[in-house]
Structure 1
């Protein structure tokens, strides 16, 4: 059977990706994809052509690498890594955790909890996360939830920028950097794929995927549909998880130069996860490393009193077009929804169902928002260089509350601990111009204007937050934040396979909405956005046998906010000093031969407060990743080990209070392909054996001290530990 030609859909896909990547410095991912696809169309299976140089296996087989056109410290995580070297239940945190400087962990097992990722001393909320170039985040602060929106079956790779990026890099918190998750690539041929997986802790995943292949006139249409159901008891006692997820992606090429992309997804998560995510030293010593919740209804950690129900959806319609005369347009209209209904008990459990203040020891909590936005990008390329300009606009409506409730009945009190609604309006226009001084030397100055407006309404409560408001039902206030964010970078192609760059970039992050969570919401002086200034130099090399990316960085950034209240009860907020994070990073893939490739990355640096020279918490002194992959015949295997160096946790305002010793995360995967024959119903298949935490490490990776006056280990300290070794066996069949 003759394979259909890919030309219409290939051009269409590359056009969409190229326009999308205007949000990223250098549009590097699109350019490398385009050259690789061109080589494939030309019939080459052994080489890809990048910037005029033949690059063989090193670039093609790298699970993570930078691009020759990158203008900042970037890593592009491949779809191959997602499909072959992550756990079946994985979320996006596992996709990026082996990249330079990145680290994350889920105490309940991979993909079985709400996991946070750290890099360069920045925590979640200090950087932006995007999907196909569209930022998504909580509205009260720009944080993220790995168990919502985008599990691994929805994701086809990621582009990580460990800097604020250029002026054209949009996002609500490019203060620390950005992570752009990519949707799955569409394929030329039709298939139906069934997946079944069983893993440790009674983890079962069943999924189905339908890829239409190219269909319609000239193969102009393509559809990918994915659905899966995940159930797990979890590693931690009674921390059960149930995830149901669906996504669909459709593309239609009106012409080879104009493409429509539609994407939609829906996820629901039910979890018996507590509000306090770790057990105490005393409980762990008594019950074991995996202790979290109990089956005793007289205890506050009874699993039935602790639960989440999270619903999310995410949709966009994107139009990309080559307008002629060097002009290109990309426009995405989008909406997403987050509804997190959480219930958890207090320190004691009532003995009666009577709805009284004494019995309402639990909390009924909601964080819900609906966001609408549009991202318009225009570019124009001429002999002088490339203009990139556009506008990101977004409006979000939010409803948040915490209400005292009886955990035996979940009947709420009349007054909440707090309740607020607000509308957030965001505008980010940007412009940059990439001057082509010579064929190989380019300089790109640019500027972005960041504007936020929050219209807040806070309702009278029981005194825990704003209080009675002197008898008023609610109080309204408006908060506005503005920032001008310049950037400039220089990019030079020293050789067709060797580039270098230097960058200065600025980022910002606005205060969380809880600046108004003071008595009578009486804030007389709002703080400004906190800012970061990043200086970077780097170089990218790609040869026939290896790739190498190296960068050095120096970032000065404002710390989080502090507040003071005067004798009249007026509260003011201000940025609490500054910090500096600096260091070096390197990433490389080496072709060893006989099907073996070696992947390595390493970082060394520091993140310290400027006034005390003490370390920022959760900022390791070094990280290292060592990966060995094998591809030969029907076999595909990968072993990846991440080492995270010494770091510290704070005890309130006390820095370097708790030492977290180095730990490693090591994962091993074996994949065996089951090729079908022409005419068979079965087209292809794959059996995967995966082992996460291969060496069964149980390190303490986080400590919340029980007391605020002493940092000595105490029975009441809340601990976060690595989960035990987990094993998964998966079968995937293509029909």
Structure 2
């Protein structure tokens, strides 16, 4: 799509919004807040039902994000599951606590944002909440956008990706704000690039109370919850605390794939004097699940009839009798056969996480306020997995060169550990003056990580020396000793980073806010490995530093108190992953080439242009936006035969364009209808083809009805067509720098692995019984769709000059329809 076309679409979208508003003729909501005196979505300034309204909570006026207070002008916007603030400066969807409280109780934080325009979810195959999921926003995958909790960024330390069933279950989340843009200069994170998923912690209530809840569902699923609120404690100057816990267990939708998790959450808000508050938060999470670390889905094999051509959409039909689907059906996960690598007891992942912070907020004067916090979080992933093959290497015969392997028949497996600890500090000062305010601050963070993978035999528990090793020849001299051949990698890594930011919010008139700002990023990453995770498994001890200044500029204009327009210009940055060090350096020559390849890897950068409008009427709430995002230095793995395996290179540009909108309508009191949609163009600058795992479109629709304690809701999410694999490959490079990029072709010249559109729905109903009891039920995947949501590429084969898939592809499906009933008691 041309630049002129996208501009035409944006203009048309804005015109449609104006026409819609004019035709509806809805009066402005009474007592609509202005931008100078914002109120949160629940209305009353002293309301304690959401953390946005509570001084000293995470998302208040001193929050580091611009999405701290969701300003609305109508009950319709407040009742909708998704809404945008009148004061926003970028496309936004805020997910309410009421929606979270009534969604599937097992939902992880990615699944909770599934209705958001431009968002698609994968990885739900074991049942909603019973397997880790990934969210794609406008074609940006997990790791290319920030995820924060109470404005503190968190992510893995090898790359900034996330584990959705670790750290923060739904019971620890009050609200979520999905900002589809880099934010202002004060938005912190490692991937100020594709957007921000900002979670805010559960509120601490002024009122004392206790709550208990039990939920039962199919697949022997059980969830137990408890919460205690102390309310304000007068003798402690109004301090208040909350403590909650959750226990979850399920057999899972897939065969032999049980899961379990436990969570504890504590939060306290303690007034200090009359002008300061101390917030203390700590949460601990433990979960395990049984899932192959090698298999990425369910195999179909070569169909018994009608080979599927490369020109067709892949379908799991007529599967080979010996394939996973042929033997076990679509719900295959693991087996109960101890002679196979997929035996469920051989494939367990055990994770423990913690996250804690101390935050001190102080009003030093009428104009000056300070916000300081220190935090830490940790993650331990201990995975045991079966591996492919059937040969175990017990050792090497070194009496002659080359050394020869001593082998037996066994069941290969491995132990994988990923363990890290992150410490950080965030400081910020806000100064308010006559026609605006200034904000300055900084973020400092240090991490330490330990990662390894060790191979062994499941039959005996003895090491399996099956990795490449120095066999005493010149050709193998770059590999480690045979004594280390059971170690795939043994690696320590770290980072030390800081970001400094400053921004101004200028208000030349009361209804216009202009916010210029700048952020400086300084990121130093290092690795110290006895055996590095590269193809040669060479030792490594090196560091690299990346820096960049990122300018920002936003505008928000409210011609009416319930109607705003906004625009954003912002630059973003994505720091190279730890894998940028995965090139060998076992001698001077390879060290030089490794240094050259690492130098060629630059941070991915983006330039964002976004415009939009938000309108909240008495019965209708509408927001529309359009965006153009250009990405440079897109990082991918080199496929040139002269490059080391795993070498990362910059392959050029990706262009993201599109428009999005969401609407809510309240035809009668208590009934809210809602819908949204997006068109998302994410094309490679080299092939002009849509990149992989980026749906062309998304849509959602549903309703919520509430009356006298009864609540009924239904929503259906549609995910448009997408491709599972990329179209391009790097053909040539010099010292890791590409010299040409050409289109990947097959003999029939048509791209493989197209995933058809699919949709899934959720129904929920609950009834309050008096003041203390609630009963309810949810049904997920209401229409029992078993659509394919992802394909792991198994390669292709040529038969009679025609390209077909080779039968090794692995499919992921939507899980079967499921239900959950719950009983809640509170006092």
Same fold (TM over 0.5): yes
Residues 456 and 75 of structure 1, relative CA distance in 2, 3 Å threshold: same
Give per-residue Cα distances to partners, 1:571-595, cap 9 Å, x unaligned. Answer: 9743111111111111111112142
**Which of 97, 100, 103 is matched with 2:120 structurally?**
103
The alignment's TM-score, normalised by the length of structure 1, stands at 0.90
**Which of 554, 564, 569 is matched with 1:499 structurally?**
564
Contact 2:341–2:388 (CA under 8 A) maintained in structure 1: yes
Residues 280 and 494 of structure 1, relative CA distance in 2, 3 Å threshold: same
Contact 1:524–1:570 (CA under 8 A) maintained in structure 2: no
Q: Which residue is equivalent to 1:508?
A: 573
Residues 157 and 6 of structure 1, relative CA distance in 2, 3 Å threshold: closer
Distance 1:518 1:344 in 2: 26
Residues 163 and 56 of structure 1, relative CA distance in 2, 3 Å threshold: closer
Contact 2:420–2:447 (CA under 8 A) maintained in structure 1: yes
Residues 66 and 109 of structure 1, relative CA distance in 2, 3 Å threshold: same
**Which of 605, 608, 617 is matched with 1:543 structurally?**
617
Residues 360 and 456 of structure 1, relative CA distance in 2, 3 Å threshold: farther
**Which of 671, 678, 683 is matched with 1:603 structurally?**
678
Mapped pair 1:477 → 2:542: yes
User: Matched residue of 1:153: which SS?
Assistant: helix
Q: Matches of residues 687-698 of structure 1 in structure 2 within 5 Å?
A: 687-698=775-786
Q: Which residue is equivalent to 1:65?
A: 83
For residue 492 of structure 1, report the CA deviation from its aligned partner. 0.8
Q: Matches of residues 548-567 of structure 1 in structure 2 within 5 Å?
A: 548-558=622-632, 559-563=634-638
Contact 1:524–1:572 (CA under 8 A) maintained in structure 2: no
Residues 209 and 445 of structure 1, relative CA distance in 2, 3 Å threshold: same
The more displaced of 646-655 and 253-262 is 646-655
For residue 218 of structure 1, report the CA deviation from its aligned partner. 7.4
Give per-residue Cα distances to partners, 1:80-118, cap 9 Å, x unaligned. Answer: 01001x212121112111111112141111110111001
The more displaced of 342-351 and 12-21 is 12-21
Distance 2:51 2:160 in 1: 35
Mapped pair 1:381 → 2:432: yes
Residues 305 and 18 of structure 1, relative CA distance in 2, 3 Å threshold: closer
Q: Which residue is equivalent to 2:809?
A: 717
For residue 460 of structure 1, report the CA deviation from its aligned partner. 3.4
User: Matched residue of 2:822: which SS?
Assistant: strand
Distance 1:241 1:345 in 2: 18
**Which of 57, 68, 71 is matched with 1:29 structurally?**
68
Mapped pair 1:278 → 2:297: yes
For residue 29 of structure 1, report the CA deviation from its aligned partner. 3.1
For residue 563 of structure 1, report the CA deviation from its aligned partner. 3.8
Residues 188 and 115 of structure 1, relative CA distance in 2, 3 Å threshold: same
User: Matched residue of 2:332: which SS?
Assistant: coil
Q: Which residue is equivalent to 1:451?
A: 522
Give per-residue Cα distances to partners, 1:163-199, cap 9 Å, x unaligned. Answer: 1111111100121011011111122221121111111
Q: Matches of residues 198-347 of structure 1 in structure 2 within 5 Å?
A: 198-217=216-235, 220-275=238-293, 276-281=295-300, 282-347=323-388
Residues 563 and 621 of structure 1, relative CA distance in 2, 3 Å threshold: closer
Distance 1:537 1:588 in 2: 17
User: Matched residue of 1:69: which SS?
Assistant: coil
For residue 518 of structure 1, report the CA deviation from its aligned partner. 2.3
Residues 569 and 578 of structure 1, relative CA distance in 2, 3 Å threshold: closer
Contiguous gaps of at least 5 residues in structure 1: 33-49, 677-683
**Which of 119, 140, 145 is matched with 1:127 structurally?**
145
Q: Which residue is equivalent to 1:153?
A: 171
For residue 56 of structure 1, report the CA deviation from its aligned partner. 3.6
User: Matched residue of 1:657: which SS?
Assistant: coil
For residue 651 of structure 1, report the CA deviation from its aligned partner. 5.8
User: Matched residue of 2:691: which SS?
Assistant: coil
User: Matched residue of 1:92: which SS?
Assistant: coil
Distance 2:676 2:52 in 1: 33
Contact 1:620–1:646 (CA under 8 A) maintained in structure 2: yes
For residue 319 of structure 1, report the CA deviation from its aligned partner. 1.1
The alignment's TM-score, normalised by the length of structure 2, stands at 0.80
Give per-residue Cα distances to partners, 1:216-254, cap 9 Å, x unaligned. Answer: 337611111111111111001111101011111111122
Mapped pair 1:440 → 2:511: yes
Contact 1:353–1:408 (CA under 8 A) maintained in structure 2: no
Count of residues in correspondence between the two structures: 694
Distance 1:733 1:219 in 2: 30
Larger-Rg structure: 2
Residues 651 and 162 of structure 1, relative CA distance in 2, 3 Å threshold: closer
Distance 1:651 1:280 in 2: 21
Q: Which residue is equivalent to 1:587?
A: 662
For residue 360 of structure 1, report the CA deviation from its aligned partner. 7.3
Contact 1:88–1:730 (CA under 8 A) maintained in structure 2: no
Contact 1:344–1:362 (CA under 8 A) maintained in structure 2: yes
Mapped pair 1:176 → 2:176: no
Distance 1:412 1:503 in 2: 56
For residue 367 of structure 1, report the CA deviation from its aligned partner. 0.9
Residues 6 and 627 of structure 1, relative CA distance in 2, 3 Å threshold: closer
What value does the CA root-mean-square deviation take over the aligned residues?
A: 2.6
Distance 2:388 2:623 in 1: 51
For residue 466 of structure 1, report the CA deviation from its aligned partner. 3.8
Distance 1:310 1:11 in 2: 31
Residues 627 and 149 of structure 1, relative CA distance in 2, 3 Å threshold: same
**Which of 396, 407, 417 is matched with 1:366 structurally?**
417
Q: Which residue is equivalent to 1:680?
A: none
Distance 2:547 2:606 in 1: 14
Distance 1:363 1:245 in 2: 28
User: Matched residue of 1:650: which SS?
Assistant: coil
Q: Which residue is equivalent to 2:602?
A: 528
For residue 13 of structure 1, report the CA deviation from its aligned partner. 2.4
Residues 477 and 195 of structure 1, relative CA distance in 2, 3 Å threshold: same
Distance 2:113 2:651 in 1: 30
Residues 98 and 256 of structure 1, relative CA distance in 2, 3 Å threshold: farther
For residue 207 of structure 1, report the CA deviation from its aligned partner. 1.8
For residue 286 of structure 1, report the CA deviation from its aligned partner. 3.1
The more displaced of 96-105 and 687-696 is 96-105
The more displaced of 349-358 and 387-396 is 349-358
Q: Matches of residues 642-681 of structure 1 in structure 2 within 5 Å?
A: 642-650=717-725, 653=729, 654=744, 656-676=751-771
Distance 2:449 2:276 in 1: 36
Distance 2:337 2:646 in 1: 43
Contact 2:110–2:134 (CA under 8 A) maintained in structure 1: yes
Q: Which residue is equivalent to 1:88?
A: 105
Distance 1:80 1:368 in 2: 35
The more displaced of 214-223 and 107-116 is 214-223
Q: Which residue is equivalent to 2:476?
A: none
**Which of 372, 396, 402 is matched with 2:447 structurally?**
396
